[in-house]
Amino acid sequence: MAEYELLGLFQDVDSAGDAVEALRQVGVSDRSLRVLSAFPLSSKILGRKHYNHKLGLAAGAGALLGFAAAIFFAVITPQLYPIVVGGRPLLNGPPMLILVFELTMLGTLLGGFLGFLWQGGFPSAGGLYDKRIAEGYLGVAVQVDEALLEKVQAAYSAHKPVDLKKAEVKPRPDRRLLIGTIAIVALLAVNFALLAVSFDILHLEFLPDQMKAQISFASQMGPRLGAPAGAVPVPGVALVGGRPATAPLAMTEDSLQRGAILFDIHCAVCHTVDEDEPVTQVASFFPDDGEPPAMTSARVMARTPEQIFTFITDGIGKMPSLAENLYPANRWDVVNDVRSLTPAE
Amino acid sequence: MSIETERNPWMSAPPESEDEQEQVEHLRKDHLLLDPVGMEAMNQDALGSMTRHGRWTWMLIVVLGGLAMMAGVGWLVQLFVGLGFTGLNRTIFWGMYIINLVYFIGIGHAGTFISAAFRVMGFETRRPIARAAETVTLFALAAAGLFPIIHLGRPWKVYWMIPIPNQRQLWPNFQSALEWDAMAIMTYVVGSVLFIYIGLLPDLAMARERTGVNWRRRLYSALSLGWRGTDRQWALHESVSTIFAYVIIPVMFSVHTIVSWDFAMTIQPGWHSTIFGPFFIVGALYSGVAAVLVAMGFLRRFLKLGYFIREEHFDVMAKFLLIMSFAWIYFYFGEFLVTWYGNLPPEMTILDLLLYGEAAPLWWLMIFCNVVVPVGLLWMRRVRRNPGILFVIAVFIQVGMYLERYLIVGVMLGRPELPFNYSWYYPGLEIPIAIGAFSFVIFFYFIFTVFVPIISTWEVGEGQFLHGLRKIGRKITKFKSDMH
Amino acid sequence: MSEQDASGKRRWTMIVDLDKCSGCGACVVACHAENNVPIAAEDQVVADRSQHWMRIERYWEGEYPDVKARFVPVLCQHCGEAPCEPVCPVYATYHDERGGLNAMIYARCVGTRYCANNCPYRVRFFNYFDPVFAEPLNNQLNPDVTVRSAGVMEKCTFCVQRIRRAEHTAKVEGRTLADGEVLPACVQACPTGALMFGDRYDAASAVAKLLEHNGRAVRLLETLGTDPSIYYLKGGTSHVD
Amino acid sequence: MSRPTRVWITVIGLVVLLVFIGPFIFGVLASVPNYEQPIVEFSHKRHVQNAGIDCLYCHSGATRSPVSGIPSVEKCMGCHEHVLSGEAPIVKLQEYWENGEPISWTRVYQLPRYVHYPHHVHVSAGLNCETCHGNVGEMDIVTPAQIPNMGWCIRCHQGEENAVELMDCLNCHY
């Protein structure tokens, strides 16, 4: 059955009120009846029932949400992100109160506004309207089905409206759900955009962060300057006149432990401990006569600690210098380790 | 102002005797709410004001827009080069950017006060000027919101002040007054924008109906959200306005209190004061009401809104201004009395500096603008009812209040505890940017008046209707429908 | 003065003997070199933007010809109750509890400059421009210290890079930090030995021992309740005449 | 909707897309890294898996200094004087050696310079190279195993016993 919307224009409050009354008597329910005006008129003047809206509820809910958000920001997140702030309390009463106050108020305002939009059905495509309403005329609008149409029209004309408009109501889908969904999606999108910025996913700088790259030179950063012409190279302090500049370390347990570890890293690449062991991958590149000797071989056992130290520092034969790898003290650790090795039975 | 009228039926009956006629005529001339001309005429007048910008106004708009753009360029330069072109130094780290922030937030207080507090208190005089005042708030807040960002050394990192979860697991410091500031200003801006928008809805709908089919109509249709003015919509509208009015007043007070805490929470001599909260609120209302007076003068003079904005409104606002000036003087005197009595060397240095030192010219000029001019003139009824003179007085107060903030931020900061660090502030790039900010506010105010009815006709109509009811009492309340 | 702290916290402390200070400025130069402090050009100094993490404040006493100069080296006081710390909205400056340092994280700074306003000593500096180190000066920059860009605050760190380096070495070698192992650049450079540095919580340290029986020790603007870490030994017996 | 309106909406939509999404696309494209090395044939996998060389043999700074260090050309030549010395990539290496030039290896792990990360402290605390750098021994061309951003550092430090000490900003930023 088709629904119709009617809008009657009246010149004053009196006749509008009468029309409302007449329409109600015809059987139009209060719900489908609207009085349109250019400024607020109390429902009493129009002879209408008081409209019980739930704006207070919406504002209250907003206030609660704002309060909860404030508590979340002020109380819970500092626990989630325990920043080291040098003994100052992460929770502090008075500042927290300020935050709670502001966000509660913000929640109330937003809640009130959203409640207003929701309950007023905004944004709506409207319905019948007449520009004369904005000029001071009053409109009485009803929505009735076909059965009641005749009677309603009669009731209208009995009060001599300035104008009477009629339109068929086409069923429209409820757009609130759509709008709500769009709003939520938009909010999420904004949220994710913020997250993206804060997570440095894109490394997007609006202006170059000059502190990220510095004008100072860090270790091993080019361009490296060569030594000035005529500079005398310093041979280093490891050897003086071909002899170690530092004294051997005592064969303590610490030293031996360190030595064993360092041997594994720096020496075991080529050298084996026992002669029976298979040669390492690197050593296999050497011709048979040039193979690195095993540590327990007679050749190595015959060396003095100072000689071994010098070999590590300077290299010997095909063995490169390991000065870059080991500090002098560490070299002595390795020497200690090598000296402590005994041939396998 | 002559407007063709078609008297609505609820207007009072024609006066019976000649005496009454004279009395009624007198009242009518004086009071907007007793001088109804009908909604149509009012709508026409209010909407017509959008097209009443003359050639000079448009030229002014262009100039103002240009100045605002210039400030934008200045800020871009600052963004890429650093804050070096400002007059800040190693003693005075806050300058005109913060002064502007405080000043514009102060201006932004009057609009809310007039529309929300006057609404709550039932002052009928608010009706025609509320929107004009709220618009001042809106754009002053927009300018004020820019300045903390302009002020920053690395503004592109400003989002670090917002509590959003991040991989660094860092959180803003809610113990910092600046963080409170950010929260309070955000709340206030959101509240003010929504408040002004709610009030605008019916007028946007009215504008929608009264414009031909063009882009304007499309704009108004979208903005008015399909407002029809049904009784239910009006009931919701009333309620939401009341909620906003009651909530936004404490927010307004909190905002400037918190701004004052930016200073009061430090240990800088001259700033470390407990009365800064109420003192700043009073100062804010003082300069804000003066700014609204400037706007009202402009609307009346250039947009020819003399029907809506009458001498009675100027009178009320001027009285309010006078009260605020007394309150301001009280706080200012109180603060310095305490300083003088306490006699602490760092504080006395500042007092001496203001009274007879380097800053004395500025200080005495401020006293002249803020005390001598308003207190000396505003007690006269003739002055209070003269928009021209009021305009001048209001400009004086703007200068005075700007100077007051300048002295607090730019001058007092130059006198820290150790005399080795004494310094003086010579603003540089801040001046064009401040000029740009003023232009920005005025520019957008102008533009706003082009697009939106600056007078809330539905509020005036409602007021006139209610007055009509009150005046003829019994005669009109006897609706037939009321009997049931 | 020797408060022993059980939790292994330190309180790095500097002692400035005003009697020994001749105002030569070696500390200032050393600080500039160590900490990559930009050098404010002439026009910047005229605009009151001199930038020295450590500066020698000079006060005159008496009337000509009987004039005496007093030198007070002023650097960040590393306050225990620092006014600059709670006002930072992003925790770019906060208290380092382990060393009692007043920390400044350049990378976190957004440049509100609130901390600097709230510093009664005015020892925080703002980079109004990007620092300029013309070739070949950039070769002498300390790689261990960030060169601060325009828009961030900076201040004396008690040469925290040296503290960290010593701590790291000690940790790798599996021992605790010894007294005197850390020397800030200014202390190292002071020719008259007017500056001393150490951990006050360590009762055996030279600093703690000196403060224990010294009636000359005062702190700058102590009435403000900032609890500074820098002690000045009052001068009075010798002046530059 | 009329045709011109639709055209306008499309144009405006495209502009909005360009303004808001363009920078992000640009940012993504600009942040795609290139890890090509000057000696392309250099393979960590061959050195670690085939030759059995420990990480610390070449990057020996990791145990004793804040930086792990890139081996010098001298260290490369120490072995390659004899090992595979005729191969094409080694000839390239020998050119560097003879010219006395360092090899400008492309940096794979780049922390911002305001972060100070000490390798020796982490190694002496018992961390393996693989914990942060991934299984380099399996890679021919090394690519970052993770983005070394602050959140990644923090997540590790959080779980430690002395987390309060380790989470201090002044540990790394100065």
How many domains are contained in chain D? 1
Is A98–B184 a contact, with Cβ atoms under 8 angstroms apart? yes
Give me the helix-helix angle, B96-112 and B430-451, nearest 10°. 20
With contact defined as beta carbons under 8 Å apart, do B123 and B101 qualify? no
Residue C7 falls inside a structural domain: no
Measured CA to CA, the distance from residue B161 to residue B157 in angstroms comes to 8
B168/D contact by beta carbon, under 8 A: yes
Chain B stretch 130-159, residues whose beta carbon is closer than 8 A to a beta carbon of chain C: 148, 151-155, 157-158
Q: Is the dihedral of CA B210, B212, B215, B217 positive or negative?
A: positive
- The segment(s) of chain A belonging to CATH 1.10.760.10 are 239-339
Query: Smallest CA–CA separation between D61 and chain B, in Å?
Result: 29
**Residue pLDDT, tens place only, D49-66:** 888 899 999 999 898 889
Domain with C114, as residue range(s), is 12-233
With contact defined as beta carbons under 8 Å apart, do B437 and B141 qualify? no
Task: Tell me the CA end-to-end span of chain D in Å, nearest whole number.
Answer: 61
**Residue pLDDT, tens place only, A107-136:** 999 999 999 988 887 777 667 788 888 887
Query: Smallest CA–CA separation between D57 and chain A, in Å?
Result: 5
C95/A contact by beta carbon, under 8 A: yes
Is D165–C108 a contact, with Cβ atoms under 8 angstroms apart? no
How many domains are contained in chain C? 1
**Closest residue on chain B to D158 (Cα):** B169
3-class DSSP string for A7-51: EEEECCHHHHHHHHHHHHHHCCCHHHEEEECCCCCCCCCCCCCCC
Q: Quickly tell me which residue has 């290299």 as its tokens.
A: A315
Residues of B in contact with A21 (CB under 8 A): 480-481, 484
DSSP-derived 3-state class of residue C103: strand
Residue D50 falls inside a structural domain: yes
Give me the helix-helix angle, B387-406 and B360-367, nearest 10°. 150
**Residues 6+ positions from C156 with CB-CB distance below 8 Å:** C31, C35, C53, C54, C75, C76, C78, C123
Residue C213 falls inside a structural domain: yes
Please give the distance of CA D39 from its chain centroid, rounded to a whole number.
Answer: 16
Q: Is the dihedral of CA B288, B289, B290, B296 positive or negative?
A: positive
**Closest residue on chain D to B215 (Cα):** D5
Query: Smallest CA–CA separation between C136 and chain B, in Å?
Result: 23
Higher per-residue pLDDT: A199 or B241 = B241
Task: Point out which residues pair with A316 in neighbouring strands.
Answer: A319
**Closest residue on chain A to D148 (Cα):** A200
Span of A166-170, B81-85, C127-131 with lowest mean pLDDT:
A166-170
Query: Smallest CA–CA separation between D32 and chain B, in Å?
Result: 20
Please give the structure tokens belonging to residue A254: 């610490």
Quote the DSSP letter at residue A160: -
With contact defined as beta carbons under 8 Å apart, do A285 and A293 qualify? no
Query: Smallest CA–CA separation between A321 and chain C, in Å?
Result: 25
Domains, in order of start, for chain B = 55-162+173-450 (1.20.1630.10)
Res C3: pLDDT? 41
What is the CATH number that goes with domain A239-339? 1.10.760.10
**Closest residue on chain B to D5 (Cα):** B215
Residues of A in contact with D79 (CB under 8 A): 282, 320
With contact defined as beta carbons under 8 Å apart, do B481 and A18 qualify? yes
Residue C179 falls inside a structural domain: yes
Which of C122, C129, C221 is opposite residue B81, by nearest beta carbon? C129
Residue C62 falls inside a structural domain: yes
Chain B stretch 204-233, residues whose beta carbon is closer than 8 A to a beta carbon of chain C: none
Residues of D in contact with C97 (CB under 8 A): 168
Measured CA to CA, the distance from residue B92 to residue B275 in angstroms comes to 23
All chains having 3 or more CB pairs closer than 8 angstroms to chain C: A, B, D
CATH number of the CATH domain containing C218: 3.30.70.20
- How many Cβ pairs closer than 8 A exist between chain B and D? 12
Which of D114, D115, D121 is opposite residue C171, by nearest beta carbon? D121
Instruction: Return the closest-CA partner of residue B293 out of B220, B408, B401, B206.
Output: B401
D83/A contact by beta carbon, under 8 A: yes
Residue C5 falls inside a structural domain: no
Cite the DSSP H helix spans in B12-95.
18-30, 39-48, 55-81
DSSP-derived 3-state class of residue B320: helix
Measured CA to CA, the distance from residue A262 to residue A164 in angstroms comes to 102
Q: Mean of the pLDDT values across residues A13-18?
A: 80
Please give the ipTM for the structure prediction: 0.86
Measured CA to CA, the distance from residue C164 to residue D117 in angstroms comes to 11
**Closest residue on chain C to D126 (Cα):** C172
Measured CA to CA, the distance from residue A40 to residue B307 in angstroms comes to 22
- The secondary structure of chain D in percent helix, strand, coil, rounded to multiples of 5, reads 55, 0, 45
Measured CA to CA, the distance from residue B399 to residue B367 in angstroms comes to 11
Residue D88, sorted as left (phi over 0), alpha (psi -120 to 50) or beta, turns out to be alpha
Residues of B in contact with C47 (CB under 8 A): 87, 89
From residue A277, alpha-carbon distances to A263, A281, A343, C57 in Å are: 16, 12, 11, 73
Residue D154 falls inside a structural domain: yes
B79/C contact by beta carbon, under 8 A: no
Which of B8, B164, B230 is opposite residue A34, by nearest beta carbon? B230
Query: Smallest CA–CA separation between C67 and chain A, in Å?
Result: 44
Q: Quickly tell me which residue has 């520009």 as its tokens.
A: A131
Query: Smallest CA–CA separation between C202 and chain B, in Å?
Result: 32
Which of C89, C114, C150 is opposite residue B82, by nearest beta carbon? C150
C88/D contact by beta carbon, under 8 A: no
Q: Which of B75, B83, B93 to mutate to test the interface with C (most CBs of C within 10 A)?
A: B93
Is D54–A269 a contact, with Cβ atoms under 8 angstroms apart? yes
Domain with D149, as residue range(s), is 44-70+105-172
Measured CA to CA, the distance from residue A14 to residue A21 in angstroms comes to 11
Measured CA to CA, the distance from residue A332 to residue A250 in angstroms comes to 9
Q: Mean of the pLDDT values across residues C137-158?
A: 91
**Residue pLDDT, tens place only, D110-153:** 888 899 999 999 998 888 899 889 899 888 888 888 878 888 88
Query: Smallest CA–CA separation between B246 and chain D, in Å?
Result: 39
Residues of C in contact with D170 (CB under 8 A): 96, 99, 101, 103, 105, 160
A39/B contact by beta carbon, under 8 A: yes
Residues of C in contact with A211 (CB under 8 A): 106-107, 146-149, 152
Q: Quickly tell me which residue has 């007078």 as its tokens.
A: B455
Which of C48, C86, C126 is opposite residue B153, by nearest beta carbon? C126
With contact defined as beta carbons under 8 Å apart, do B81 and C150 qualify? yes
Is C108–D169 a contact, with Cβ atoms under 8 angstroms apart? yes
Which of D69, D81, D84 is opposite residue A220, by nearest beta carbon? D69
A233/D contact by beta carbon, under 8 A: no
**Per-residue model confidence as pLDDT tens for chain B (484 residues):** 334 444 444 455 555 677 777 777 777 777 777 777 777 788 888 887 777 777 888 898 899 999 999 999 999 999 888 898 999 999 999 999 999 999 999 999 888 888 888 888 888 888 888 899 999 999 999 999 999 999 998 888 888 888 877 777 788 888 889 999 999 999 999 999 999 999 999 888 888 888 777 788 888 888 888 888 888 888 899 899 999 999 999 999 999 999 999 999 999 998 988 899 999 999 999 999 999 999 999 888 888 888 888 888 899 899 999 999 999 999 999 988 988 998 999 999 999 999 998 999 999 999 999 999 999 898 888 889 888 999 999 999 999 999 999 999 999 999 999 989 999 999 989 999 999 999 999 999 988 988 888 888 888 888 888 777 655 444 444 343 343 3
Output the DSSP codes for D1-65.
Answer: --HHHHHHHHHHHHHHHHHHHHHHHHHHHHT------SSTT--HHIIIIIS---HHHHSGGGGTS
Q: Decide if pLDDT at D79 tops 60.
A: yes
Please give the distance of CA C127 from its chain centroid, rounded to a whole number.
Answer: 18
All chains having 3 or more CB pairs closer than 8 angstroms to chain B: A, C, D
Q: Which of D19, D20, D82, D169 to mutate to test the interface with A (most CBs of A within 10 A)?
A: D82
pTM for the structure as a whole: 0.89
- Which amino acid, residue C153? M
Higher per-residue pLDDT: A210 or A60 = A60
Share of chain A above pLDDT 90, in %: 17
Is B166–D151 a contact, with Cβ atoms under 8 angstroms apart? yes
State how beta strands C12-17 and C230-233 pair: parallel
Burial of B129 (0-12, 13-18, 19+ CB in 10 A): buried
